[in-house]
Structure 1
Amino acid sequence: MPRIMVAAMAAFALSCVSVSANAGDEWPELIGVWTGTTEAVVIGDPLHHQPGEMPHLSMVALTITIEGQDGRRFWGTIASPDHTENLVGVIANDLHTLYFADSDGYAAIQLIRSDVMDQCYLHATADTQDAGCTTFLRTQ
């Protein structure tokens, strides 16, 4: 009986402890303006790209502005010369992997240094597809 009681108490104690996988580490600060040129392959006429033969290669200057951050969560905009979209994102527990969603696609990002990130973006609908990668540098 005492073993069962000790095991039950240990299980209860463990269930009451909440430990963050990020304990002791600070979330990277992302707020600022990030610029880069995407290298994409495109079908159709997705936002930010010019229409062309299918598929066609596209290079477009992009600016990500991270306007706010609360811990691992961040938000802002992504803009090309012709379009601006809202984005929302999160930082993974490894402190280097980020994900964001905008109005029509998703990005996976690796934070290379505090001022350099490498992003790959995917967008797919019945009429348009876009796969592109961009190295962004923080400029502000």
Structure 2
Amino acid sequence: MKRRQAGSTATQFLLWLLLLVNTAGIAYYYYTTEVKTKHIPNLVGTWSGVNLTVSDEKGYKTWNDKTVTITEQQDRRFRGTFTYADGTKNFFGVIYPDNTAFTWVSTPSHGYVHGRILGDNTIGTCYVETWEHATAGCATLERQ
């Protein structure tokens, strides 16, 4: 006949509890480092704000009503339109794997928009263009 040692039930309980806590810790670590960081932000919506630019052609300019509309997004890729003094342009872009930075381009343009997601409803965008119409400008845009 086997005899149980005193305290073995308590020891087994503590071992199971330690295993459970350890497993929960590993799951939490995986969630915060793998799942949560891979959440791609949704940029769809209308964004507007003030755009500050500088160029040889126009000098220092303030454009009070910069409006950008991101119409669709699939994973990290997105499309939209923006309105400016000469009309409306279509653009397309990507969100970088850090889920903070993005870039978009427009077929007729010679420059790029580089941006950062500053909050759920705030982005910062900077346009740079070289050559004859060299321009640099940035805007902080709020989702409407």
**Of 107, 117, 124, the match for 2:123:** 117
Q: Which residue does 1:136 correspond to in 2?
A: 141
Q: Which residue does 1:28 correspond to in 2?
A: 41
How far off is 1:107 after superposition?
Answer: 1.1
How far off is 1:80 after superposition?
Answer: 2.0
Unaligned runs of 5+ in 1: 1-21, 45-51
Structure 1 segments of 4+ aligned residues over 3 angstroms from their partners: none
Q: Which residue does 1:18 correspond to in 2?
A: none
Higher relative contact order (CA 8 A, sep 6+): 1
Larger Rg: 2
Measured on the aligned residues, the alpha-carbon RMSD in Å equals 1.6
More helix by share: 2
> For residues 34 and 68 of structure 2, what CA distance do their matches in structure 1 show?
28
**TM-score normalised per structure 1:** 0.71
> For residues 81 and 130 of structure 1, what CA distance do their matches in structure 2 show?
15
How far off is 1:83 after superposition?
Answer: 1.6
Q: Which residue does 1:57 correspond to in 2?
A: 60
SS at match of 1:90: strand
**Identical counterparts, % of pairs:** 29
> For residues 129 and 43 of structure 1, what CA distance do their matches in structure 2 show?
7
How does 1:82-101 map onto structure 2 within 5 Å? 82-101=86-105
> For residues 71 and 114 of structure 1, what CA distance do their matches in structure 2 show?
17
> For residues 68 and 27 of structure 1, what CA distance do their matches in structure 2 show?
14
Q: Which residue does 1:78 correspond to in 2?
A: 82
**TM-score normalised per structure 2:** 0.69
* Amino acid corresponding to residue 127 of structure 2 in structure 1: Y
The answer to whether the aligner puts 1:40 opposite 2:46 as a matched pair is: no
Unaligned runs of 5+ in 2: 1-32
